[in-house]
Structure 1
Amino acid sequence: MKKRLISSYDEENDIFVGKVDGENGYVADYGIDDGIFLKINKSNLPTSVLISNASKVLNTSKSILESADVRIGIDCDEFCVKFSMCIEDLKIFSTKCKNSFGISNICYEMDSNI
């Protein structure tokens, strides 16, 4: 499933936010890695991602995080959640955690270039 991503980066506070276009609100907010939070709607689908201390967490420069060309992939099964982030077609981060949140089996992509 592919959705249009609207992303923003606050350099002063070092916070990255990626939101699915047209989605409002969420019913759950899960910390899937240190500083990475995934918000889920009532259909159990991702609506947004917030990354605090983004340049440190993603181990990249603040200038790269200001790019508008962002793609976030979220793959879930009953065992794990896989999160990846690409900026300007370069993978800058990926992580995997246990799916103790009950997120549905999905292959989900949020892309700023749709």
Structure 2
Amino acid sequence: MKTERLISSYDEINDTFVGKIGGMNRYCADYSISDGIFLAIDKDNVPCSVFVEGASDVFNVSKSMMENANVKIAIDCDSLFLSFIVFIEDLKICSIISENRYGIPKLNFLMDTNY
């Protein structure tokens, strides 16, 4: 699993979470992988950002929990399945495993704010 530095921010007023890989501004494809969760992949098949609309509701946690700076996002994908897991303070707050009906290429990444 490749690890990249995650820069995360949470907007409490709009209840949106944005996480992006440090130093990356580009994306090639954007996928809606679940209600409210969007994943952007660059041309090299590296996840470059995650956007979550209605984050506290999507993750079923308080807005104060969303403001925590210790976030990890694990993404594992092959031609059949996509696994998307979010940790805040090492507590698993979201785990999605679904069929890869999005056509997302094979990848295995950990996006970590503490990297």
Question: Same fold by TM (over 0.5)?
Answer: yes
How far, CA to CA, are the matches of 1:26 and 1:104 in structure 2? 14
How far, CA to CA, are the matches of 1:45 and 1:25 in structure 2? 10
Deviations, residues 11-35 of structure 1 (Å, cap 9, x unaligned): 0000000000111121111000000
- SS of 1:49's partner is strand
Amino acid at match of 1:29: D
Amino acid at match of 1:40: I
Alignment length, in residue pairs?
A: 114
Runs of 4+ in 1 over 6 A off after TM superposition: none
> Match of 1:11?
12
Normalised TM-score (structure 2): 0.95
> Match of 2:71?
70
Deviations, residues 22-73 of structure 1 (Å, cap 9, x unaligned): 1112111100000000001011221000000000000000000000000000
- SS of 1:64's partner is helix
Are 2:106 and 1:105 aligned?
Answer: yes
How far, CA to CA, are the matches of 1:99 and 1:45 in structure 2? 16
Are 2:50 and 1:49 aligned?
Answer: yes
**Contact 2:70–2:89 (8 Å) recurs in 1:** yes
Cα distance, 1:100 vs. partner? Answer: 2.3
How far, CA to CA, are the matches of 1:104 and 1:29 in structure 2? 12
How far, CA to CA, are the matches of 2:10 and 2:56 in structure 1? 10
Normalised TM-score (structure 1): 0.96
> Match of 2:88?
87
> Match of 2:27?
26
How far, CA to CA, are the matches of 1:107 and 1:18 in structure 2? 17
Say if 1:45 and 1:101 are closer, same or farther in 2 by CA, change over 3 A: farther
**Contact 2:81–2:99 (8 Å) recurs in 1:** yes
Cα distance, 1:103 vs. partner? Answer: 2.2
Where structure 1 has 5 or more consecutive residues not aligned to the other structure, the ranges are none
- SS of 1:60's partner is coil
Coordinate RMSD, CA, aligned: 0.8
Where structure 2 has 5 or more consecutive residues not aligned to the other structure, the ranges are none
